[in-house]
Amino acid sequence: MDKDPLLIDEKLFKIFRVMGKKKRFAILWLTRNNEMTITDLSKRLKLAYTKCTTYVSELYHLELVSKRKEGRQVFVKSKVAFTQNSVIFGQQ
Backbone angles phi, psi at 47, to 5 degrees: -115, 150
The residues near 6 (Cβ < 8 Å, ≥ 6 apart) are 13
- Taking the C-alpha atoms of residue 80 and residue 21, their distance in angstroms, rounded to an integer, is 15
Mean pLDDT of 30-53: 96
Average pLDDT over residues 26-46: 96
Q: Average model confidence (pLDDT) for the chain?
A: 87
pLDDT at 90 over 60: yes
Residue 32 binned pLDDT confidence (cut-offs 50, 70, 90): very high
More confidently predicted of 61 and 17: 61
Pick the CATH number of 9-88 from 2.40.30.110, 3.30.70.1400, 1.10.10.10, 3.40.1110.10: 1.10.10.10
CA distance 34 to 72: 19
| Average pLDDT for 42-46 | 97
The residue ranges of every structural domain in the chain are 9-88
The SS3 of residue 78 is: strand
**Class of residue 50 by CB neighbours under 10 A (exposed 0-12, middle 13-18, buried 19+):** exposed
Mean pLDDT across 39-51: 97
Position with higher pLDDT, 17 vs 85: 17
